[in-house]
Amino acid sequence: MSDTSTLLREFLRAPLRIGAVAPSSRRLAVAVTTPIPELGDPVVVELGPGTGAFTSAIQELLGGRGHHLAVEINPRLADTLRGRFSGVDVINADASKLPQLIAERGHGKADVIVSGLPWASFPRGIQQETLLAVSQTLKREGAFTTFGYVHAIRLAPALRFRRMLGVTFEEVVTGRTVWGNLPPALVYHGRRPRVIAPLRAPAPSRRTDRECSCSAGVLSAGR
C-alpha cells in the first residue's frame, strides 16, 4: 500500500487526529528540517511522523549522527515506521508525554523538535498540553518547527495555535509559503522556549477541550 493510501485510510478512521489526507511533500520536509545542524550528535524529536515524510528527510540530514526519536500515537503507523527506519527510535505514544518519554531514554533535552502534528484539528486543551510538553523538552538554544495549511490559517483553532506559539517562544518566524505541497503550507520556526511551569496536575482526560493548568495562564491564548 502506498503512503498516500495508508494515510487516507487512517484519516478515514480518525480525521481530526490525522488531519491530512496525503503525506507532506519533499519540499515541505526540506523546509521543516532546516534547523537540524550539519555537525555533531543532536537529539532530534519528531512528533506525528505519520507515514514518514519528514522521517526520511531527518535521517538523511543526520546521516547516522545523533539520536532521532519519533513519537506517533497511531500504533499501525508506528509499526510501519519501525519496519522502515531502523535508525529511528519510534515511540508509540502521545506527544504530550514528551518530557517523560525523553527522560526515560536518558537523552536530556532535545536540540530540535520537528512537528507533523495537525495542530489546527486539536482542541485548545490538547494544543496547550502538547505545546507545554514541547517547551519543557526543548533546549533553550534549541529550535522547534511546525507547519500549518494556508487555506486554514484564518480559522479559529489555527489562529489560537499561532498565538500560543507566540507565548511559548521568545521568537517565532514564519517561513515562506511552501506552494509545492498539497495543500500549500506555512512553516513556523520557534526559538528560545519560555519557561512555563504547570501549577497543578494535568486534567484527568485530554479528550475534552478544557483549559490547561499552566502558570499565569501563559498558554491561555484567547479563544
Ligand X SMILES: C[S@@+](CC[C@H](N)C(=O)[O-])C[C@H]1O[C@@H](n2cnc3c(N)ncnc32)[C@H](O)[C@@H]1O
Q: CB 95 → ligand X: shortest distance, Å?
A: 3
Segments in the chain forming alpha helices (H): 3-13, 15-18, 26-32, 53-62, 75-84, 98-104, 124-137, 156-168
DSSP state, residue 216: G
Give the side-chain half-sphere CA count within 13 A for 218.
Answer: 19
Shorter beta-carbon distance to ligand X: residue 61 or 95:
95
- Site membership for ligand X, residue 24 (CB under 6 A): yes
Window of 34-42, 61-69, 112-120, 156-164 that interacts with ligand X by CB under 6 A: 112-120
Contact 187, 119 (CB under 8 A): no
Phi, psi dihedrals of residue 217, rounded to the nearest 5°: 60, 30
Binding mask 144-163 vs ligand X (x if CB under 6 A, - otherwise)? Answer: --------------------
- Site membership for ligand X, residue 111 (CB under 6 A): no
Determine which residue in the list 43, 44, 81, 117 makes contact with ligand X, applying CB under 6 A.
117
- Site membership for ligand X, residue 118 (CB under 6 A): yes
Q: State the cell numbers at 162.
A: 499561532
- Site membership for ligand X, residue 94 (CB under 6 A): yes
Binding residues for ligand X, rule: CB under 6 A, are: 17-20, 23-24, 47-50, 53-54, 71-74, 77, 94-95, 116-118
